Structure 1
Amino acid sequence: MLILLQHLAHTRSGDKGNTSNISVFAYEPEFYELLKAQLTAERLKAFYGGVITGDVLRYEVDNIHAMNFVAQGALGGGVSRSLCLDNYGKALSAAILGFKVDVPESLRGKLHGQQLL
C-alpha cells in the first residue's frame, strides 16, 4: 500500500547559502529499512521537480534510524539572493512528507495518524 512519508517519519531541516539539509527520522526501525530502500538521493531530488539543481548526497545514521540529505543548488541561490520565500530549507523538509512509500500491509498498525490516500 502507498503511504505518505508523514505517517512513517518526521523531518528536520536547515539551510546555508544555496544548500539545504533535510533529515528524515523513521518512527519505527521497520520503517527505516523501507525508507533506506525507497527514499534514495535520486528519488528525493526528482520529487522536487527541478527545484534542486545540484547534487544530492544521502548520509545514513543507522543507530538513530535517520537519513540526512544534503542538497546543493536547492535554494534559488540562497536566502539573500532569492525572492521565493517558500524555497528555504524548512519548506523543503515539510514538502518531502508528501513522498509516497510502499509499505507492507503487515505494518499498518504501526503507522502514525490517518494514513489512507
Structure 2
Amino acid sequence: MTAPDSIDLPLYQLAHARTGDKGNRINISVICYRQEAYPYLVDQMTEARVLACFAHREPTAVQRYLLPNIAAINFVIDEVLGGGVNSSLYLDRHGKGLSFLLLSEMVQAPRSCSVAS
C-alpha cells in the first residue's frame, strides 16, 4: 500500500514498541502513534521482513498477530536470544533493546502519519 505523498521514514517515527521475553523467545509489540499509519505497517512489516531484520541472531520463526483495535502488531520471534536469559552470552540477554532494531527499519507512509509532521 502506497499513497501518492508517501515518503521513506524510520518506523520509530510512526510507532513505538514494547518487548518481552520468555526463554529463548521474544515478543515485540509495535504500536502506532496514529491510527492512519496502521494499514501501512500491516502491509510492510511482514513476518518475512522481521525474520530478515533479526537474521544475524538466527531466529527460527516469526509469528505476527494483528491488533487493529489498538493499531498494533505483535511479533513473536523464536530462538533469538542466544539460548535464553540464563545461558545467553549476549549483552542484552532479555532482548529489551531489540525493539529499537525493529523500529530502525525504513517504511513508506504519508508524511501525515509521522509524529514528526
TM-score by length of 1: 0.87
Give 1:87 shift: 4.9
Could you tell me how far apart the structure 2 residues matched to 1:87 and 1:102 are?
A: 31
| Structure 1 position 50, deviation (Å) | 2.8
Q: Residue 45 of structure 1 aligns to a residue in which SS?
A: helix
Percentage of pairs with the same residue: 43
Which stretches of structure 1, 4 residues or longer, exceed 3 Å deviation after superposition? none
User: Unmatched 5+ residue regions in structure 1?
Assistant: none
Q: TM-score, normalised by structure 2?
A: 0.87
In structure 2, the CA distance between the partners of 1:27 and 1:112, relative to structure 1 (3 Å rule), is: same
Rounded Cα–Cα distance in structure 2 between residues aligned with 1:71 and 1:85: 18
Would the alpha carbon gap of residues 47 and 81 (structure 1) be closer, same or farther in structure 2, given more than 3 Å must change?
Answer: same
Cα offset, 1:30, TM superposition? 1.5
Q: Distance in 2 between matches of 1:102 and 1:94?
A: 18
Q: Which has the higher helix share?
A: 1
Name the structure 1 match of 2:114. Answer: 111
Q: CA RMSD in A?
A: 1.5
Unaligned runs of 5+ in 2: 1-6
Partner Cα separation in structure 2 for residue 47 and residue 34 of structure 1: 18
Which residue of 2 is the match for residue 63 of structure 1?
69
Count of aligned pairs between the two proteins: 111
